[in-house]
Amino acid sequence: MNISELKNEDEVPYTIFETPKKVWKTDEVRYATIYETPKKVWKTVAETIKLQSVNKKVKKKKLNGFVLYEGKSNLDPSQNIVAIVTSKSANPKTGNMAQLWILNKDINPMTASKEKKDNAVCGSCILRQSLGGACYVTIFQAPNKVWKTYKNGGYKPIDVPDYGNHFSGVKMRFGAYGDPAAIPTHILASLKAYVANNTSYTHQWKEDAAQGLKTLSMASVDNVGEAKQATKKGWRYFRVAKEDERLLKGEIICPNVTTGVSCIDCGLCNGAKPNDRRKSIVIPVHGARKNKF
Ligand code: SF4
C-alpha cells in the first residue's frame, strides 16, 4: 500500500480522526503518518499537548522582581552577594513598598547565618543572629524565599539605564535584609534618583567607605554614645532603645509606634538632606529576639 491508496478516509482507523486536526500539517504528512506508524501519532499528540501546556506555564511565569547586582561584597570581598528588588510587601509596618534584599549569592541565608558568613551582607552589625543578636528579621521566611526564587531564575537582571522604566515614582526600602553598604554606592544613588522616596539603614556609618550613604540612609545606632557620634559625623540616625530609656534632644519616637502610620506614608528614614532639621528616630527594641538586645 502506498500513500495515494489511502486517500479514502473510510480506510483509516476511526480513532485517528479524533486526533486534533492541527497535528496534520498537510495531507501528505497526515496519510504518511497514518500509514506508517499510527501509534506514533498518538504519542505525538500527547507530546504536543504536553509541550503546549509547558509553553503555557513558561508564558505565565511571572517575574517578581529584578537583580540589580551580583558580585563581590563591599563588606567582605572574599564573598559574592546579590541585590534583588521585589515589587511588593505585605509588611504592615512598611506598607506596600518595593524591597531591596541583599543576600549571599551562593549560600542560602539560613546557612550563611549559621556559618557566620552573613558578614558579607550584614557587615559588623552586632544584632546579627549569627552572633546571638536581636535582629528581628525572620531569615527562614522572606529572605529564604527570595533567595530560592533568585536561584530558580525568578528575577530578571537589569542595569542602571533600566531603573527609570521600573522604579520611577516607586517607594522603596533599601535593605529589607542586608546592609545597603554591601553593594556599590552608585547603584543606591541611581535608585535614589528615580524612586519617589526610600527608607534605608546602615550599621556601617562609622566606615569611611559608607560616608557617601548619608544622603540616602539613616545610621543604625544601638546606644546613646553611638547616636552622638553619628550626629557629629553628619548622619541622621535610627536608634533602637529599651523602653525605659529617655529620648535625647533631636529625637522622636518612630511615628509607626505612636500613630500607626506605615513607612510608605511616613518616609522619614531617608537620610540627611543639606541643612536637614528633621529629627532622628528612636524605636523600642522589638521582634521575637528583643530580649537579646
Ligand atoms: S520613622 Fe517613619 S519611615 Fe522610619 S521606621 Fe518609623 S514609620 Fe518607618
User: What is the pLDDT, as a whole number, of residue 62?
Assistant: 53
Over residues 27-36, the mean pLDDT reads 46
Nearest by Cα to 279 from 254, 256, 257: 254
In the chain, how long is the greatest CA-to-CA distance? Answer: 99
**267 touches ligand 1 (CB under 6 Å):** yes
| Cα 171 to middle of ligand 1, angstroms | 13
Mean pLDDT estimate for the chain: 83
- Give DSSP secondary structure letters for 83-104: EEEES----TTT-S-EEEEEEE
Higher pLDDT, 30 or 53: 53
Higher pLDDT, 8 or 119: 119
Beta bridge partners of 65: 86, 155
| Cα 12 to middle of ligand 1, angstroms | 74
Which ligand 1 atom is nearest residue 218's CA? 4
| Of 251, 254, 258, 265, best ligand 1 pocket probe by most atoms within 8 Å of the beta carbon | 254
| Of 197, 199, 259, best ligand 1 pocket probe by most atoms within 8 Å of the beta carbon | 199
Judge whether 155 and 67 are in contact, CB under 8 Å: yes
**256 touches ligand 1 (CB under 6 Å):** yes
Side-chain half-sphere CA neighbours of 176 within 13 A:
31
**269 touches ligand 1 (CB under 6 Å):** yes
| Cα 280 to middle of ligand 1, angstroms | 10
pLDDT-based confidence at residue 91 (cuts at 50, 70, 90): confident
**231 touches ligand 1 (CB under 6 Å):** no
pLDDT in tens, 164-200: 999 999 999 998 999 999 999 999 999 999 999 999 9
pLDDT-based confidence at residue 88 (cuts at 50, 70, 90): confident
275: which residues sit within 8 A by CB, 6+ positions away? Answer: none
Burial class (CB in 10 A: 0-12, 13-18, 19+), 61: exposed
pLDDT-based confidence at residue 281 (cuts at 50, 70, 90): very high
pLDDT in tens, 113-163: 999 999 999 998 888 888 888 787 889 899 999 999 999 999 999 999 999
| Cα 260 to middle of ligand 1, angstroms | 10
User: What is the pLDDT, as a whole number, of residue 195?
Assistant: 96
Judge whether 288 and 275 are in contact, CB under 8 Å: no
Report residue 208 as a C-alpha cell.
569611611
| Of 216, 256, 283, best ligand 1 pocket probe by most atoms within 8 Å of the beta carbon | 256
User: What is the pLDDT, as a whole number, of residue 89?
Assistant: 87
Residue nearest to ligand 1 atom 1, measured at CA: 254
* Residue 238, H or E segment: strand 237-241
| Cα 267 to middle of ligand 1, angstroms | 6
**199 touches ligand 1 (CB under 6 Å):** yes
pLDDT in tens, 243-256: 889 999 999 999 99
| Cα 54 to middle of ligand 1, angstroms | 44
